[in-house]
Amino acid sequence: MEAIPRDYGERCQFDRYCKLVLYHEALDYLREMQRRRDRETSFDALPQAEMDKLCTEDHYPSDSYIFSSHGYDLLIDNELVADAFSSLSKDAQSILILRCVLDMTDQEIADLMGMSRSAVQRRRAKTLKELRTKLLAIGGRLNRMKQPNYKGRELLPYSVIEAARAGEADAVDRVLRYYDGYINKLCTRKLYDEYGQPHVRVDEFMKHRLQIKPIHSIVITT
C-alpha cells in the first residue's frame, strides 16, 4: 500500500478552495449579467459575427514542442512524448513529420529526401517501433512515479502551491493553466444568433474575470 504524502491534505484543501472561489465568482458574474440585461445588449442579441469576436478557443504555442522538417511543423503537447520524439535521429523525425503532417506516401517521402521507397518504409517501421518502445518505458516510469490525485485528477505539487502563494509569476501561471478546463466549463454558455440558432461558446469576458479572481485570492489573501 502506497503511503499518502504528508502534504496531501493541504493540496486537496487548496484544490477545493480554488474551485470554490471560481464557482462563486462565476455565480456573481451571472447575477450581474442578469441585472444588466435590461440596460445593455445581451449576448443573446448579438449577431454571430460579434459573438465570434468575443468567444475564442485558447491556444498557447508555448504549450507545444515544435519539430520541423522541410518547412513543415509537428506540434507535440506532451513533454514526455516530445522527449521521446527528440531522441530520434533527424531523418527518422523527418519521415514521421512528413507522414503525419502531410500524409505523404513512402514514395513521396523518398523522392523528397533522396532515399529509396523501401529504405523509407524500413526506416519508418523501425522508427515507429522504437518510439513505441520509448513511450511504453515512459508509461512504466509514470506508473511507478504516479502523483497522488483528488477525485481522479493529479494534484498540483505542493512546491507550486507555495510558490504561487508567494506571488511567483510562473507558479501562478501554472495554477491558472491547471484550472483552465474548470474555468472553461464554468464559462461555457449557450448563446443564440439573430436566427435563433444556439451556439455553445466560452464567454471570454467571464473567463478573464475568473482568471483574475484566484490570483487575488491566492497571492493576497492566503
Which residues contact residue 196 at a Cβ distance below 8 angstroms, ignoring those fewer than 6 apart? none
Stretch 72-94: mean pLDDT: 81
Structural domain that includes position 89: 61-144
Last residue of a domain, one of 107, 126, 144: 144
Last residue of a domain, one of 128, 144, 160: 144
Given a contact cutoff of 8 angstroms between Cβ atoms, the answer to whether 183 and 22 are in contact is yes
Determine what percent of the chain is predicted with pLDDT higher than 90: 4
pTM of the model: 0.48
Last residue of a domain, one of 144, 171, 189: 144
State whether the Cα torsion 10-12-18-23 is positive or negative: negative
Taking only Cα atoms into account, the Rg of the chain, rounded to an integer number of angstroms, comes to 24
Give the Cα-Cα-Cα angle 102, 103, 106 (nearest 5 degrees). Answer: 115
pLDDT in tens, 43-71: 455 555 555 555 555 544 445 677 888 77
pLDDT in tens, 109-144: 999 889 899 999 999 889 888 888 877 776 655 454
Is a pLDDT exceeding 80 seen at residue 172?
yes
Is residue 2 in a domain? Answer: no
CB atoms near residue 21 (< 10 Å): 18
Is residue 21 in a domain? Answer: yes
| pLDDT attached to residue 119 | 92
pLDDT in tens, 178-215: 888 888 888 887 777 778 777 778 888 899 989 888 78
